[in-house]
Amino acid sequence: MRPEPPRDAETVAEVGEFNLIHRVTTGRAQPETTILGPGDDAAVVAVPDGRVVASMDVLVEGVHFRLDWSSPEQVGRKAAAVNLADVVAMGALPSGLLVGIACPADTPAATIQGIMSGLWQEAAKAGAGIVGGDMVSSATLVISITAMGDMNGLEPITRSGALVGDVVAVTGRLGWAAAGLAVLGRGFRSPVGIVNAQRTPEPPYEEGPRAAEAGATSMIDISDGLLQDLGHIADSSGVAIDVRTELLPLHPRLLDVASALGGDARHWALTGGEDHALAATFPGPKAVPENWTTIGTVRAGEGVTVDGRAYEKPPGWEHWRA
């Protein structure tokens, strides 16, 4: 699954742990919140609000990414994005990432340097820095990231605050990453925009804090599928959620790919993960911010329905499910 490196390419074992760390951290810019970055036993990050929002995700080669489908830089950007999206889903401003990389000794050093370059690029896009981490030997390439953020004086938006009578809204792309996966799985590499949605998701970083300011009652990052993740809000809040398919934002490009592959764009939007869009509930249509699309309502009861009925297919991704 991994492309063959040039025969004269340096491996991580030949470069060495500390030289490799030096290569991927030297000369990088940090945001103002980084008081002390890589180089000491621990980082020091300013948290003006006084509360640290923290989240962690682990990405494994062959499960979350493939180096024959994505460049190392794209893998790095994706690894950062999936973590930063969790922070903004709480309504927080991203501040720093702690990065752990485990890989085989024969991994080309250029691969790790490319992954780190992508991580730096995506962190900067969200206004965060890479403040520390670790590198170790492993039989499999694994990227583990802890993301941190600051609430900037706002209250965290949890999954448990949805109320009967709220409306459900989304922002960001739905179904694009699932469509990109379907395209790649057929052996194609275009349309590039759809394929790149799988390689490098584009979370709407600025919209999490904006939703918090607008009075969102609950919010979640859509990583495992819209229905699956809305189910977490429904369970945590003790409510029912109904999604209306006629309100789903289905881009014409998504419909074109579904037609070409014999796929279902609506199913991709409802159950496809890895777009890292945001879903939230708001106390009425007037509270929904610009750039958000209302797609449903919160009702008394339990679970998630689609057009008033139970969805017959799996609602999204779940590890270890057959």
The contacts of residue 77 (CB under 8 Å, 6+ apart) are 118, 119, 121, 122, 200
pLDDT of amino acid 165? 98
Nearest to 277 by CA among 201, 211, 216: 201
- Tokens for 263, please give them: 């796929």
Q: Do β-strands 303-306 and 240-243 pair in parallel, antiparallel, or remain unpaired?
A: parallel
Cα distances from 235 to residues 34, 51, 133, 170, 304, in angstroms, run 37, 26, 34, 18, 9
> Contact, 43 vs 134, CB < 8 A?
no
Enumerate the known binding-site residues for ATP: 133-134, 159, 223
The SS3 call for residue 222 is strand
The predicted structure's pLDDT at residue 220:
98
CATH architecture classification, 12-150 = 2-Layer Sandwich (3.30)
SS3 assignment, position 215: coil
What gap in Å lies between CA 171 and CA 160, rounded to an integer? 19
- Looking at residue 41, its pLDDT comes to 81
Residues of the chain with pLDDT under 70: 1, 5-8, 317-322
pTM of the model: 0.91
Could you list the residues known to form a binding site for Mg(2+), using ranges.
41, 55, 57, 86, 134, 221, 224
Provide the annotated binding site.
41, 55, 57, 64, 86, 133-134, 159, 221, 223-224, 274, 317
Domain boundaries, the chain: 12-150, 167-306
* pLDDT (0 to 100) of residue 215: 97
Q: Give the model's pLDDT for residue 18.
A: 87
Burial letters 70-106, b for 16+ CB under 10 A, else e: bbbbbbbbbbbbbbbbbbbbbbbbbbbbbbbbbbeee
Q: What is the pLDDT of residue 318?
A: 54
Can you give the pLDDT at residue 322? 43
| Binding site listing for substrate | 64, 274, 317
- CATH number for the segment(s) 167-306: 3.90.650.10
